[in-house]
A and B are shown apart, each in its own frame.
Chain A
Amino acid sequence: MLTLVGEDRPGIVAKVTDALYKAGCTLGEASMIRLGGNFTIMMMVSGGVCPRDLEEVLSPVAAALGLRVHLDSVDGGLHRHLTPNVQVRVVGADRAGIVAKVTGALAAVGFNILELESDVAGDRRQPVYIMNIQGYSNATIEALEQAVAGLGADGIAVDVAPVETLIG
């Protein structure tokens, strides 16, 4: 699992993946997102050079682009997707602890988070925390609603909805 973090600029993915391609590496699943103006990416890399040499392959491009590189050997593979069946949307006046409270309530009923995105909207005086979670749960929607019901008193609006994946 290759993780790269640095100041965002155009062309990072192109330069990094070109270096990996030329070293004979294959890419699997990847997720890149800009967080707070930073470039971040995690990607599955296999084949080609061994992990120690991978650092050498990446060091010129990382140095040129100012990227920090992190490598983990993991037991990963393709086609291990879990399809989410529940979506949880959270909106509240931004303050510390929202994520911990919401995800703690969900974890207590065995909810498995598969995707989580959060952002801060509004302006500096009235920031609004928005979070969107998709996950898998064997509990009913009613049971999940019950699990997060207490958060309304903290000014956090939590909407639990089923995700019906359409196969057509």
Chain B
Amino acid sequence: MAILDVLTLPDPRLRQASQPVTRFDEELRAFIDDLDETRRVGPAAVGIAAPQVGRFQRIAIVDVSAKKGIASHGFLVLVNPEITHWEGFEIGREGCLSVPDFTGNVIRATRIRLGARDPLGEPVELEMEGFEARAVQHEIDHLDGLLFVDRVVSRRTDLFRRKVYQTGRGPV
């Protein structure tokens, strides 16, 4: 295994959209191991995406299980992930391995459903909410060349709390 170099802003490669994975082979799985090792040496990152280490393929890792008291699916490798359903929204604070020394408030969907492939190419369907759903949305943004700084909202946006996301129902 190896620790890979993480691209940081203003590197323009972070803005590049990544391509779907087509070969589910040993090379892919070895890369995923390296990608996760890179995530673990960072400052407590709960996720990482392949383009952050300069590989422009649709691969992301999320693992929020180290956070106490929240529901999660544990260690997740998401290859070619597609969010199929969004519900609710809430504001949370985010930072990024690719944006050192900056955190900001970002609006994300509270609950999502997604489809993806696992490292063997088998399809997986997942439903998740809260912090884990936020992490997945953050990582999938990387696959589309987006960073959380593209979505940061004013601190004032949070002053008037919307009731709608507490019900978790209906259009927002």
Question: A residues bordering B, Cβ < 8 Å?
Answer: 33, 79, 81, 83-84, 89, 115, 117, 119, 121, 130, 132, 134, 163-168
A132 to B156, CA, bound (A): 8
A110→B50 CA distance, assembly (Å):
41
Number of A-B contacts (CB under 8 A): 66
Contact between chains at A132 and B158 (CB < 8 Å): yes
Q: Across the interface, do A167 and B43 meet the contact criterion of CB distance under 8 Å?
A: yes
**Do the beta carbons of A164 and B67 come within 8 Å of each other?**
yes
Give A33 to B42 CA distance when docked, in angstroms. 34
Contact partners of A83 in chain B: CB under 8 A: 93, 95, 103
Set A79, A89, A165: member contacting B94, Cβ < 8 A: A165
Which one of A33, A117, A163, A168 contacts B46 once the chains associate, using CB atoms below 8 Å? Answer: A168
Whose C-beta in chain B lies nearest to the C-beta of A130?
A: B159
Q: How far is the CB of B13 from chain A (nearest CB, A)?
A: 17
**CB < 8 Å neighbour of A164 from B42, B96, B131, B155:** B131
Q: Are B156 and A168 in contact (CB under 8 A)?
A: no
Using A79-B101, A81-B101, A83-B103 as known contacts, say yes or no to A166 and B93 having CB atoms under 8 A apart: yes
Residues of chain A lying within 8 A (CB to CB) of residue B95 = 83, 165-168
For the complex, give the distance between the alpha carbons of A55 and B38 in Å. Answer: 49
Q: Does B123 contact A (CB under 8 A)?
A: no
Bound CA–CA A84/B94 (angstroms): 11
The segment out of B23-31, B81-89, B113-121, B134-142 that lies at the interface is: B134-142
Greatest chain B CB density within 10 A among A121, A130, A165, A166 is at A166
Would you give the shortest CB distance from B93 to chain A, in whole angstroms?
A: 4
Q: Is the CB of A119 within 8 A of B159?
A: yes
Kindly state whether residue B51 has any CB partner on chain A within 8 Å: no
Q: A117-B155, A132-B155 are in contact. Are A167 and B161 (CB under 8 A)?
A: no
Chain A positions within 8 Å of B149 at CB level? none
Min C-beta distance of B80 to chain A, whole Å: 18
| Total residues of chain B contacting the partner, CB 8 A | 31
Contact call B131/A168, Cβ cutoff below 8 A: no
Residues of B within 8 A of A164 (CB): 67, 92-93, 131
The answer for the CA separation of A117 and B159 in the assembled complex, in Å, is 8
Known contacts A166-B93, A167-B45, then 8 further A-B pairs from the complex at CB < 8 Å, ordered by chain A residue = A163-B93, A165-B103, A166-B46, A166-B94, A166-B131, A166-B135, A168-B94, A168-B135
Q: How far is the CA of A163 from the CA of B139 in the complex (A)?
A: 20
Assess whether A115 is in contact with B94, with CB atoms less than 8 Å apart: no
B93 touching A165 by the CB < 8 A rule? yes
List of 8 A-B pairs having minimum Cβ-Cβ separation, nearest first: A168-B47, A168-B138, A165-B93, A167-B95, A167-B45, A166-B94, A79-B101, A132-B159
CA–CA, A119 and B159, complex, Å: 8
B92 CB contacts on chain A under 8 angstroms: 163-164, 166
B41 an interface residue at 8 Å Cβ cutoff?
no
